[in-house]
C-alpha cells in the first residue's frame, strides 16, 4: 500500500453559523488559504445569527518559492498587552487600529515588501496576582 499525493485540486464545503460579523471574519481567514468558488449566506434568524455555506478549492501542494517572485508567508501571532493598550476592543475601529499598528511594525522587518494583519479575536486577560 502506498500513500498517493492527490494530483488535482480538492473541493471542500464549510458551514459557518454565528453573528454576521463573526462569520464574515472567518470567511476572510478561509480566503487566505483557499479559493472560494461559491458562497451562500442565509438571511439572519430570529436571534440575528446567519448560516453561511462556503465551497472552497485547495491545491495539493504549495507553489514553489522562487528567488524572482519572492514568497508569501502567513504567520499567526498572539499579543498580550497592558490594560488600556487597545481601548475599545473588540470594536471594529479598535481592531482596525491594532491591525494598522501591527502591519506597520511588520513592514519594518528586513526583506519584507508588504504586510497585512487581521485581528482574529480579542480576549480579556485576568488581572495580575499581587
Kindly state whether residues 18 and 54 are assigned to the same domain: yes
Residue 16: Cβ-neighbour burial (10 angstroms; 0-12, 13-18, 19+): middle
Residue 130 falls within a domain, yes or no? Answer: no
pLDDT tens for residues 35-88?
Answer: 788 888 888 999 999 999 988 887 776 677 778 888 777 777 888 888 888 888
Threshold 0.75, pTM exceeds:
no
> Which residues constitute the domain of residue 50?
10-60
Number of domains in the chain: 2
d(CA 25, CA 123): 16
Q: Band of the pLDDT at 16, cuts 50, 70, 90? A: very high
Kindly state whether residues 16 and 50 are assigned to the same domain: yes
pLDDT tens for residues 91-111?
Answer: 888 888 999 999 999 999 999
Residue 111: Cβ-neighbour burial (10 angstroms; 0-12, 13-18, 19+): exposed
Q: Band of the pLDDT at 5, cuts 50, 70, 90? A: low
For residue 12, give every residue at least 6 positions away whose Cβ sits within 8 Å of its Cβ, in sequence order, or none. Answer: 34, 55, 56, 57, 58
Residue 33 falls within a domain, yes or no? Answer: yes
Place of cell 498572539: 78
Amino acid at each position: 500500500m502506498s500513500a498517493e499525493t492527490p494530483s488535482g485540486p480538492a473541493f471542500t464545503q464549510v458551514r459557518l453559523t454565528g453573528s454576521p460579523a463573526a462569520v464574515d471574519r472567518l470567511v476572510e481567514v478561509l480566503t487566505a488559504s483557499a479559493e472560494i468558488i461559491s458562497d451562500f449566506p442565509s438571511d439572519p434568524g430570529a436571534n440575528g445569527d446567519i448560516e453561511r455555506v462556503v465551497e472552497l478549492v485547495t491545491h495539493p501542494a504549495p507553489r514553489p518559492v522562487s528567488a524572482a517572485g519572492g514568497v508569501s508567508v502567513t504567520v499567526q501571532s498572539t499579543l498580550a498587552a497592558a490594560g488600556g493598550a487597545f481601548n475599545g476592543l473588540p470594536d471594529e475601529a479598535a481592531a482596525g487600529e491594532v491591525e494598522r499598528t501591527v502591519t506597520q511594525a511588520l513592514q519594518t522587518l528586513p526583506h519584507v515588501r508588504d504586510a497585512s494583519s487581521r485581528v482574529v479575536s480579542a480576549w480579556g486577560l485576568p488581572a495580575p496576582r499581587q
